[in-house]
A and B are shown apart, each in its own frame.
Chain A
């Protein structure tokens, strides 16, 4: 594990840039624990101050210091993305590996449901959830819903890997040695699936955070919790661009693009690392 990361860091510039970007954003969101203001407090500083030495990111029209407020927003958004990624990974591992290893009827039934979930139009469904749940739709409920909707594509990917592992020599060995299906899946097959899980987790975070931002901007979440989406919502509702408080919009947008770029580069580089041919080419071992 550690050598993998070292190798990636040494030979893969995408991984280097990606991990630096993500680390910076995570550290920044960690600063929220030292914030002098509570996130829901408004009118604690002078409103509408441009970025300066006192207020690094400026202050918004609601009298919040954007530097600290955004650190909360990023923490909530990242935690949201992480919850969705972890939960949906669990579902996709279970479904994908079971379908791949068991095959037959189990496989067909699981993949039938899988295909339904792949085809669902997610955004209208989320809007309908908001329509019914209203303000009960907080970060955690939303994360749970997103996790239930966002596993299908990766389950298919994991299944295809598990399908290949099933016919390998060591699987037969393990069966003859008396290992049950669950133990084979967890102890023998899971290590092979792990790299895919990491790279799809990053892609999944990009996906779920994208939806969170969109829902938040439209005002379809609990607006009192600072997230990237709700930050932009408040900026829009105070017509930030029109009034001239551009930093209220541009700083979160730039930061969120950096976050996405970082996660995307990590996903791409891990993906490339999984493929031994492209890994060798990069290290200069091939040809």
Chain B
């Protein structure tokens, strides 16, 4: 147990380093944005009516102070950290003066919900089907599934998602293709609202599952077709163990461990994928927010989204890493 605590601590330090490096990089990038939020707001205000130059000047001074741009870069960086720990990243620009963090927190549940369901579904389905395909190598059905999985692989995710929108939104309009819930239903914890959220999430989640399942399927099939030739499997077969027990308990279970590592490594990429998903399906999550922020030149919001994304992805990887030695006693925890 002590060694496990040590292992967890080591991973925790890794997590801290990744978060620190990621957020610092995001801070620098946001700093180099060519669009000044101060000038944008002044442009917005003075475009509507005329002001005296003195009033504009004092507005500029106030805004510069509000965004903290009057200090040297290192001071801004320290300020960023002290505010970041308290969960405050300044006002956003696209929805000025709503705090950037508030926008992020409003968008976060949508992304987390959609991603969790899609990743878990794709991973489980892909691995189970792949495991079966690796074990029952003569099954026509599973072979056909393999051909489809290889066929979908090279098509970029955007095109797959886009074709789904065209198919189910225009050619055969049965599914909602934009938004997170129906317009006429108020967001609240009612049955109606939950149903409309699920109904709207179906197509984006399906596109993510479709794009992700192939990788897991092919990886698992390759792993299992190696394991099947091992002595212990032959032994179990000769001993008359039920085939279902062999596939589920012996073969797939052993192959799941490397697949879990692969999942931890793929999480960052999958998160990048949701930016595209949310854009294609106009889903109200982090990705859509990030793209709105980029288009609006909102560096504070870009920073907030990047920081939260870095923390979320790193934390998810951390959790998977912690599960690892619990699933496979062979993994060294030292």
Contact = CB atoms under 8 A, between A and B. Distances in A.
Interface of A: 119-124, 127-128, 130-132, 134, 206, 209-211, 213-214, 217-220, 232, 241-242, 249-250, 253, 256-257, 260-261, 263-264
Given A128-B306, A249-B166, A264 B272 contact: no
Contacts of A206: 154, 156
Nearest to B294: A131
A222 to B, nearest CB: 15
The 5 closest A-B pairs by CB, nearest first: A210-B156, A123-B272, A264-B154, A121-B268, A214-B158
Interface string B131-144: 00000000000000
29 contacts: A120-B268, A121-B269, A121-B272, A121-B313, A122-B272, A123-B272, A123-B276, A124-B271, A124-B275, A124-B306, A127-B294, A128-B26, A128-B29, A128-B302, A128-B306, A131-B294, A131-B297, A134-B34, A210-B157, A213-B159, A214-B158, A214-B276, A218-B291, A232-B162, A253-B163, A260-B155, A260-B156, A264-B153, A264-B154
A74 to B, nearest CB: 15
B275 A127 contact: yes
Contacts of A217: 158, 162
B154 A261 contact: yes
Interface in B273-332: 273, 275-276, 279, 290-291, 294-295, 297, 299, 302, 306, 309, 313
Given A131-B29, A132-B29, A124 B272 contact: yes
Given A119-B268, A241-B166, A253-B159, A124 B290 contact: yes
Contacts, number: 81
Given A124-B275, A214-B276, A218-B276, 13 more contacts: A127-B275, A127-B291, A132-B29, A132-B33, A132-B34, A206-B154, A210-B156, A210-B157, A210-B158, A214-B157, A241-B166, A256-B159, A260-B155
Contacts of A121: 268-269, 271-272, 313
B290 A127 contact: yes
A241 B29 CA distance: 37
Interface of B: 26, 29, 32-34, 153-159, 162-163, 166, 169-170, 265, 268-269, 271-273, 275-276, 279, 290-291, 294-295, 297, 299, 302, 306, 309, 313
Contacts of B155: 257, 260
Contacts of A250: 166
Contacts of A123: 272-273, 275-276
Count chain B CB atoms within 10 A of each CB in A124, A209, A218 and give the residue with the most: A124
A136 B306 CA distance: 22
B150 to A, nearest CB: 8
Nearest to B265: A119
B170 A241 contact: yes
Contacts of A213: 156, 158-159
A179 B153 CA distance: 43
A242 B29 CA distance: 38
Contacts of A264: 153-154
A214 B269 CA distance: 14
Contacts of B271: 121, 124
A218 B279 contact: yes
A260 B272 contact: no
A211 B306 CA distance: 19
B294 A220 contact: yes
Count chain A CB atoms within 10 A of each CB in B158, B265, B268, B313 and give the residue with the most: B158
Contacts of B32: 132
A249 B309 CA distance: 32
Given A124-B272, A124-B275, A253-B163, A131 B154 contact: no
A217 B295 CA distance: 14
Contacts of B275: 123-124, 127
A19 to B, nearest CB: 16
Nearest to B32: A132
A232 to B, nearest CB: 8
Contacts of B157: 210, 214
A253 B156 contact: no
Nearest to B309: A124
